[in-house]
Structure 1
């Protein structure tokens, strides 16, 4: 009795080279799924952890609730965990230093806000206080648990005992935000109210939107009292925001593209192997094997190959996850190096998906080739003479008159195997398609981790309207020991608007629905309640913005001549028109004057630093850079922000203290050391680049390996055919030329298919993710197109090196007998 599994196993063990190539094709598909999904999972984990560390685990907050409302909310069955907090509304100081906040919380409130206890106990009774370790040592050097601190609250001094020390928050520490915590009851007593904010985690099966509406209705709370933790909900897949839902849709499409790409890669690898072995199947039929037995043998071979490809395929995904996690732990120890942070991160769901899809994909991919193998005619297969028709011979004849014989033969081979050729080209095209599809994802993540504050190492700032730093003060700052360079900036608030017709259809609808914050005026101009910010810079600082340029040109002389500005993109904030459709050359109106957009640059949140108007709490409509000459058309003020770069090794605190002395007489002046924040920002940018280039590298690598494996397999499985051509008089040089021509045809078609499908997909993904949220206008991804073309060409030629070397060493008499 014929043992189909045994025959399949014996074939795989004897044809080791073919087995390795086939297994490699399956493993690459599994690697693609497990690696890409693992990186996406790690990106999600990165965002979730950063969000939790910064602002807590709560998902919905009900503000200013009465005790009865709070009790009712905490008893809800769809609330899995909760806590209460109350911020003291009166100013508080410790030793003359203002506290950013003095907050009361119960145990649940501390948990929900992720204020973690390091030592001691949480404040429970009257006169107990807790601080972060760094803040306690700054405010009262040498203080420890049990010591007494004197707080000045609303001008009255009160004694508090340090009951506990909280774990340092990196943002608080680096930004020197001094915060302190007391018991909830004492905070309510200081406020003269029993109200508290209730922080809630919602049960996993509950709809967040419906939950919020039911809370508003049942507890008679206004919409202003309700707040959702948007970033955390988005990162955990529970947001109902239109923008976030658009990102979810993009993620779903990307996932399907990756899965489909993997299945096509597997199908192509297996189909190629089976197609080249029809003579073997014919021999089995000739000795009595039934079509059903042949089909079983092919399916058994697929099952064994899929099992062989699982380990190397998913291992790559696991290794990538672990390496990236180690990088995060070493770069961000404050966030990822804690005792509750995982030392080893492996995305088991991603690895499982890769393995399952790989195995099922291989088995499903074998169904059609198995049916074809079962239908092979024994006579035709043994004769190895698949029917050729007159049209193909005629095509060959015409081709030899127009092309060299090697190119003509390559073309004939392609035309004789149209279906296999197209399938292979599509398989190769998916590497190009994925590269173009994932480039908006990398842009999205890079923007999300991008540090957008440009305040140097040390800065001096005044927020008092009409005030600034004199030329003498600026010169004195430049002479401080350790200051390497100094950059005075002028920031002012202006009224700015632009033509409604400049916005695309989506954003026009957004303005229509913007209500009081953004609307179309009778004159056809977009109007908002928000002011805009304009920054006057020196020519040197203008030129330094070159690395932030997205579109247009940076030239101080052009800005002066054309009354121009460099427009910062905005981030699609609620109620604000997204500026992603504005382009260089468009005209905007600023305080009644026409200014030309000469360039589009990345957002820099330094525009929020000088709050000198009554609407400063709102996000500005525009952020603009321009020269000091253009700036004087709107206001002639002294610099109100001065940023300083320090020499390596300089103590930033000492410089900031000296700056504070020099600016003591300037109303509203502050100074700060930004060295820690700057390093944190560089680390964040580095992590962003790791993910960005990691995605590009992984997809490009798998694409290259797929090309090498596919074309290399195509050459090796045709060893007998090539041997016959050499026996007929073709030289090895002509064989090489023929295969190069054939591979070039594969590459050209793969590029055509990949670019034709990838560019529209890139456009749509970019619109939904990057332009909608960050205002980045879409343009052709030339860098990725060039990378795709270069990688494809290089991989094609590289794929021929090893097979040609093996064929060259093989004697012609042996080559014509190879199966």
Structure 2
């Protein structure tokens, strides 16, 4: 066969073929631009949202680092010399304990003296003034200024109550500082419970030299992490650097579990792949229709000597031209849309402060790269068809009806996401969350009941419950006790660590057998570490949490504490003849199936030691045994092991008024903001930084913000997937109908009316949609139920699901009717004779 090698002719052919397909060009550019817009917008929104939520989630002391290594200034200097350390900054604690100002009640506020480079590396940006330069100057956060009601005047005076000294020599000392500046708080997500005030390093030498001997936190940035491991190798790399520099310990906010990281990254990857696949079918349909309509032209070109390679060149020139126009339009619009959606969504959520627009160059490269890849693979099959077909095959070519499985799945997935989003976001019940996280209207909790302390335990005053009870809106106040055995601390490399409240008891019978089982279990030890159980087992003197709870509260406590075996006889419990048992195995790693486990009805002989050296032995009956603790922790007994009536507790511990662990507060109606503040003020008047407050009001405020966040993000996701699903659906229906143009024209030529054509296409479209609807309803109901069972949400709402399904069905019907009307109108623009003459 003669081969024409004239390159200029090929250019002319490509140009003529391009200009003769104006409708095809507009549709192709639109398809490419839409796909590029979606890909670019998803990259823009996705990267910004992932980084924003990640920054929010990782917001902890030292927000710019991978972790911290404890050590001295010499340790820091050694770390800086290591090749795997990008930077290392020391943030010196000026006191072993938080500040004691009454205004900081319920918060942990730390006075720190960081290196100068710490501020730059950890996102500490001044909004006014300058950083502290001597021991009597400080800078505070914007959230702290708001909390204190300050007007952000540089040069104002602020008195802080600093705990100077260590251990038993620690004393509260008032020091007046000059506020030299204010900074934007990078830890805003925890600003309700934690804040940092910065001074100069000279403070320690001048005011608290005892802290110079204590290893401090050195925040480090690693440069040897494997990006494929998604920061799950942080702990190993930190420990390696710690050993090389002679540090005394490490800490990190990152997980070492690859499965956890993949669970968070996986959905984003699948989402991008889904868009690429959707774009592939969208663009493929356009090019397939175009090539199908020109197939005889390609056959004739081959008869005059055009090679397959030359035809590919002709088509690729057109494809590149269409792609350049579509991609340029798409990436610009995609970036603009993404940066409108991203900040707009984030501004309405708890993540607002952490939003940062992604780099425009990175987005353009990703958007253009993925879009060109999508265009290329979409056009590849059509290119092969045009280049490989022979003149004879071209003359009798008829387009094949494509399989529509992906489009069905695409639209079904879009509908499923819509249904899930409706149920999870709109169905999110703030009232449900308030009930879930609050057993009472308000509670005041002593941190020492369940957490370690960095300063000596400070009791709740016995007068505080009475003061709260005198408030006019308070209907009932109940006190829970938790015994604390002295000495209550252990010596560590950084000083004394005061342990959570525990009593010392001796055990006999099933309780002793169960504790000895734990003490001899490698599995238990590997989970909880060496807590001294083996030594306790030798002496039969166990350190366990012993609580005293009013008998009238016990049923409510049990209902909120988790799943229990047994039924509590309240009268027997109140009389001090019964005990409730919660094993130290709080994570249930051992289960309850071992032979020596405790069961209701077992006799329990327990000996109690108090701080005066007295010993009392009681024989009681086990009334109930915890099988699974509640994950929400709203009950007091969820942190206990041995639960007694408060009457018995007071007999066993004469100094019981020193061991108030919880004050439960009930009010006439749900607590208001003003009432919340009144209780908080009484708590603050205790001058006890170890007290924390919880209330229904505080939970409601937090959950209202969370609900708004879920709704915005959920419907953004549903909207993007909806556009993709509808685009694929419309494109597939259109290409399917246009592939049957000759068939439909022939049927009209033998008498089919426009009304009959309309009815036939609507019926075919509805049949096609029916499969998608069945799939989306089935999968949507299952996924809605499963997703809403997660602790983040509040359960499946059948009424809301049916409403959202009805809205979805209405949308499907509207799309079907509109598409049928539009296709009939387009098909009948030309006469039947003209359509029968078209090459198909």
In structure 2, the partner of 1:374 is 387
Where does the alignment leave 5 or more consecutive residues of structure 1 unmatched?
387-415, 480-485, 496-509, 519-527, 546-559, 561-573, 580-587, 617-636
In structure 2, the partner of 1:656 is 677
Report the CA distance between 1:440 and its aligned residue.
Answer: 8.9
Give 3-state SS (helix, strand or coil) of 2:135's partner: coil
Report the CA distance between 1:21 and its aligned residue.
Answer: 3.0
Tell me how far apart the structure 2 counterparts of residues 133 and 456 of structure 1 sit (CA, whole Å): 33
Larger Rg: 2
Is 1:203 the equivalent of 2:198? no
Residue by residue, what CA displacement relative to the aligned partner does 1:121-167 show, whole Å, maximum 9, x if unpaired?
33343333333356468669679544554444444545433152232
In structure 1, the partner of 2:31 is 25
Give me the TM-score of the superposition, normalised by structure 1.
0.65
Is 1:640 the equivalent of 2:623? no
Residue by residue, what CA displacement relative to the aligned partner does 1:752-790 show, whole Å, maximum 9, x if unpaired?
89999x899979xx89x997x979999999889988877
In structure 2, the partner of 1:426 is 406
In structure 1, the partner of 2:46 is 40
In structure 2, the partner of 1:226 is 250
Query: Taking structure 1 as reference, are residues 198 and 291 closer, same or farther at Cα in structure 2, changes over 3 Å only?
Result: closer
Give 3-state SS (helix, strand or coil) of 1:640's partner: strand
Residue by residue, what CA displacement relative to the aligned partner does 1:80-128 show, whole Å, maximum 9, x if unpaired?
2221123211564447866732323222344455444343433343333
Query: Taking structure 1 as reference, are residues 176 and 212 closer, same or farther at Cα in structure 2, changes over 3 Å only?
Result: closer
Asked if structure 2 preserves the Cα contact closer than 8 Å seen for 1:265 and 1:427, the reply is no
Tell me how far apart the structure 1 counterparts of residues 676 and 477 of structure 2 sit (CA, whole Å): 16
Query: Taking structure 1 as reference, are residues 537 and 711 closer, same or farther at Cα in structure 2, changes over 3 Å only?
Result: farther
Tell me how far apart the structure 1 counterparts of residues 828 and 763 of structure 2 sit (CA, whole Å): 18
Is 1:161 the equivalent of 2:158? no
In structure 2, the partner of 1:704 is 726
Tell me how far apart the structure 1 counterparts of residues 678 and 626 of structure 2 sit (CA, whole Å): 40
Asked if structure 1 preserves the Cα contact closer than 8 Å seen for 2:478 and 2:664, the reply is yes
Mapping for residues 124-143 of structure 1, pairs under 5 Å: 124-132=133-141, 135=144
In structure 2, the partner of 1:516 is 528
Query: Taking structure 1 as reference, are residues 366 and 446 closer, same or farther at Cα in structure 2, changes over 3 Å only?
Result: same
Query: Taking structure 1 as reference, are residues 58 and 534 closer, same or farther at Cα in structure 2, changes over 3 Å only?
Result: farther
Residue by residue, what CA displacement relative to the aligned partner does 1:205-233 show, whole Å, maximum 9, x if unpaired?
566344223124324545xx211132xxx
Tell me how far apart the structure 2 counterparts of residues 513 and 800 of structure 1 sit (CA, whole Å): 69
In structure 2, the partner of 1:358 is 371
Give 3-state SS (helix, strand or coil) of 1:167's partner: strand
Report the CA distance between 1:611 and its aligned residue.
Answer: 9.1
Q: Alignment partner for residue 75 of structure 1, among 81, 100, 109? A: 81
Asked if structure 1 preserves the Cα contact closer than 8 Å seen for 2:468 and 2:682, the reply is no
Asked if structure 2 preserves the Cα contact closer than 8 Å seen for 1:425 and 1:746, the reply is no
Query: Taking structure 1 as reference, are residues 364 and 101 closer, same or farther at Cα in structure 2, changes over 3 Å only?
Result: closer
Q: Alignment partner for residue 305 of structure 1, among 322, 346, 350? A: 322
Report the CA distance between 1:46 and its aligned residue.
Answer: 1.5
- Provide the aligned C-alpha RMSD in A: 5.9
Residue by residue, what CA displacement relative to the aligned partner does 1:723-754 show, whole Å, maximum 9, x if unpaired?
22211222223323333344345445667899
Tell me how far apart the structure 2 counterparts of residues 686 and 596 of structure 1 sit (CA, whole Å): 36
Is 1:89 the equivalent of 2:120? no
In structure 1, the partner of 2:243 is 217
Q: Alignment partner for residue 715 of structure 1, among 727, 732, 737? A: 737
Asked if structure 2 preserves the Cα contact closer than 8 Å seen for 1:91 and 1:153, the reply is yes
Q: Alignment partner for residue 111 of structure 2, among 98, 102, 115? A: 102
Is 1:266 the equivalent of 2:267? no
In structure 1, the partner of 2:715 is 693
Asked if structure 2 preserves the Cα contact closer than 8 Å seen for 1:303 and 1:363, the reply is no
Q: Alignment partner for residue 731 of structure 1, among 753, 761, 766? A: 753
Tell me how far apart the structure 2 counterparts of residues 16 and 487 of structure 1 sit (CA, whole Å): 79
Query: Taking structure 1 as reference, are residues 248 and 743 closer, same or farther at Cα in structure 2, changes over 3 Å only?
Result: same
Report the CA distance between 1:701 and its aligned residue.
Answer: 1.5
Report the CA distance between 1:196 and its aligned residue.
Answer: 1.6
The count of aligned residue pairs is 673
Tell me how far apart the structure 1 counterparts of residues 11 and 623 of structure 2 sit (CA, whole Å): 82
Tell me how far apart the structure 2 counterparts of residues 202 and 707 of structure 1 sit (CA, whole Å): 48
Give me the TM-score of the superposition, normalised by structure 2.
0.64
Tell me how far apart the structure 1 counterparts of residues 668 and 124 of structure 2 sit (CA, whole Å): 34
Of the structure 1 ranges 350-359 and 139-148, higher mean CA displacement relative to structure 2 is found in 139-148
Give 3-state SS (helix, strand or coil) of 2:131's partner: coil
Tell me how far apart the structure 2 counterparts of residues 472 and 785 of structure 1 sit (CA, whole Å): 53
Is 1:244 the equivalent of 2:266? no
Tell me how far apart the structure 2 counterparts of residues 364 and 671 of structure 1 sit (CA, whole Å): 59
Give 3-state SS (helix, strand or coil) of 2:828's partner: helix
Tell me how far apart the structure 2 counterparts of residues 185 and 791 of structure 1 sit (CA, whole Å): 68
Residue by residue, what CA displacement relative to the aligned partner does 1:353-386 show, whole Å, maximum 9, x if unpaired?
332232233233333322322344545644x575
In structure 2, the partner of 1:327 is 344
Tell me how far apart the structure 1 counterparts of residues 423 and 13 of structure 2 sit (CA, whole Å): 50
Where does the alignment leave 5 or more consecutive residues of structure 2 unmatched?
1-5, 164-170, 227-232, 450-459, 483-500, 503-521, 531-542, 561-569, 571-584, 591-598, 602-621, 643-660
Tell me how far apart the structure 2 counterparts of residues 295 and 660 of structure 1 sit (CA, whole Å): 79
Mapping for residues 53-68 of structure 1, pairs under 5 Å: 55-68=61-74
Mapping for residues 499-510 of structure 1, pairs under 5 Å: none
Asked if structure 1 preserves the Cα contact closer than 8 Å seen for 2:282 and 2:727, the reply is no
Query: Taking structure 1 as reference, are residues 311 and 512 closer, same or farther at Cα in structure 2, changes over 3 Å only?
Result: farther
Give 3-state SS (helix, strand or coil) of 1:421's partner: coil
Residue by residue, what CA displacement relative to the aligned partner does 1:603-645 show, whole Å, maximum 9, x if unpaired?
75756xx6995799xxxxxxxxxxxxxxxxxxxx997044797
Tell me how far apart the structure 2 counterparts of residues 302 and 40 of structure 1 sit (CA, whole Å): 29
Query: Taking structure 1 as reference, are residues 44 and 298 closer, same or farther at Cα in structure 2, changes over 3 Å only?
Result: same
Query: Taking structure 1 as reference, are residues 363 and 350 closer, same or farther at Cα in structure 2, changes over 3 Å only?
Result: same
Report the CA distance between 1:511 and its aligned residue.
Answer: 8.3
Give 3-state SS (helix, strand or coil) of 2:219's partner: strand
